[in-house]
């Protein structure tokens, strides 16, 4: 169902002119480290800049800077328990996922201020990277429900993966902590990795294949903005499952580079399916991940949680064009004016 922010229990910041309704309760949860990758210097957002943005965007004055994952979870969960109308995640994809997980199944709406270096979730929702524009979306946009994936009892918002890419991402993760040697280890993992025999159970079939990797996508993008599932929709109740078989390793690596940062190139060797449930088992244990988290080894199951999260998107967002960077989610109903 689609409603406007103004139609929530309390009005949106843009609707507070009549004074006939209570002021909405808004909390902005900020990750001051957002956008940092390894030892690469970045021009981060200061508290003064963020508070100025909140004033211009009519987002109230409650800003909470969090130091770690545990604190971010606690602050988001507290907002839900206190009945806040809107919680804004000001950070990268990791911060968005941490905050969003605490909002699942509640009436509290998620807003996103994209401060990270990639922002796959914001891109999938059509939220602009320019901060004043993103704040305006939160103030005047539509509220929609989107799906969430789940694996081993943990929610994910972008994609799950099994095989070579999961092994590479695990090796590369140390780079975010400033370990430059992680680049060499990631290349070595790619060189050594071999295709694996696996069985993939979907809603209506079982696939037996030999593949380098499988992705189970909730939305189009994952990793470094890679368009692994260009037709995936965040509100259709299904995963887009892509099986990368019949590709040589050099061909797969070239393909992954070609779809990075929102680009997309068709690969005829990749088979695509749609399913609400996915179970993957390898002839040998295979590495598995979901978003940025290591999930251990196969066998593993992925399941959809339809319409589990309420989120603000640009008003009147239409159906995204396949592979279009920044496209919005497809509508789940008619748009209501804010």
Q: What is the mean pLDDT of each run of 10 residues along the chain (338 residues)?
A: 41 40 87 68 77 95 96 98 98 96 98 93 95 96 97 97 80 60 62 85 97 94 84 95 81 66 64 97 96 94 98 77 34 30
Instruction: Determine the Cα–Cα distance for residues 127 and 317; give it in Å rounded to an integer.
Output: 10
Name residue 296's beta-bridge partners.
Answer: none
Instruction: Determine the Cα–Cα distance for residues 220 and 75; give it in Å rounded to an integer.
Output: 29
Q: CB–CB of 240/231 below 8 Å?
A: yes
pLDDT in tens, 280-329: 999 999 999 999 899 999 999 999 999 999 999 999 875 433 333 333 33
Phi, psi for 77 (deg, rounded to 5): -65, -35
Instruction: Determine the Cα–Cα distance for residues 88 and 221; give it in Å rounded to an integer.
Output: 21
Name residue 88's beta-bridge partners.
Answer: 28, 111
Residue 269: the pLDDT is 75
Instruction: Determine the Cα–Cα distance for residues 122 and 81; give it in Å rounded to an integer.
Output: 25
Residue 245: the pLDDT is 85
DSSP 328: P
Contacts 24+ apart (CB under 8 A), 171-178: 173/292, 173/294, 175/37, 175/38, 176/36, 176/37, 176/38, 177/38, 178/38, 178/39
Q: CB–CB of 336/142 below 8 Å?
A: yes
Instruction: Determine the Cα–Cα distance for residues 212 and 206; give it in Å rounded to an integer.
Output: 18
Residue 224: the pLDDT is 76
Question: Of 202, 208, 213, which is closest to residue 289 (Cα–Cα)?
Answer: 213
Q: What is the DSSP string of 98-126?
A: HHHHHHTTSSPEEEEEE-SSS-HHHHHTT
Residue 108, CA distances (Å) to 187, 194, 260, 272, 322 in order = 42, 45, 33, 34, 30
DSSP 216: E
């Amino acid at each position: 169902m689609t409603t406007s922010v103004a139609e929530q229990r309390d009005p949106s910041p843009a609707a507070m002119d009549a004074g006939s309704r209570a002021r909405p309760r808004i909390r902005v949860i900020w990750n001051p480290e957002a956008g940092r990758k390894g030892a690469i210097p970045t021009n981060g957002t200061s508290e003064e800049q963020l508070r100025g943005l909140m004033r211009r965007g009519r987002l109230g004055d409650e800003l909470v800077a969090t130091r770690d994952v545990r604190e971010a979870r606690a602050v988001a969960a507290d907002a839900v328990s206190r009945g806040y109308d809107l919680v804004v995640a000001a950070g990268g994809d990791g911060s968005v996922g941490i905050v969003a997980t605490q909002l699942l199944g509640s009436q509290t709406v998620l807003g996103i201020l994209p401060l990270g270096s990639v922002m796959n979730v914001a891109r999938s929702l059509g939220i602009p990277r320019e901060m004043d524009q993103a704040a305006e979306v939160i103030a005047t946009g539509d509220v929609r429900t989107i799906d969430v994936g789940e694996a081993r009892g943990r929610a994910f918002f972008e994609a799950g993966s099994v095989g070579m890419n999961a092994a590479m991402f695990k090796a590369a993760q140390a780079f975010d902590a400033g370990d430059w040697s992680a680049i060499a280890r990631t290349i070595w993992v790619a060189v050594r990795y071999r295709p694996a025999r696996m069985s993939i159970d979907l809603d209506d079939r079982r696939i037996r294949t030999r593949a380098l990797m499988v992705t189970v996508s909730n939305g189009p993008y994952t990793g470094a903005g890679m368009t692994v599932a260009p037709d995936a929709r965040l509100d259709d109740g299904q995963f887009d499952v892509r099986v990368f078989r019949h590709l040589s390793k050099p061909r797969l690596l070239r393909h992954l580079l070609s779809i990075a940062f929102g680009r997309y190139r068709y690969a005829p060797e990749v088979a695509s399916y749609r399913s609400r449930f996915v179970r993957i088992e390898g002839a040998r244990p295979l590495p598995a991940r979901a978003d940025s988290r290591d999930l251990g080894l196969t066998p593993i199951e992925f399941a959809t949680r339809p319409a589990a999260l309420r989120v603000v998107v640009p008003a009147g967002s239409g159906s995204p064009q396949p592979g279009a960077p920044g496209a919005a989610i497809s509508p789940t109903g008619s748009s209501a004016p804010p």
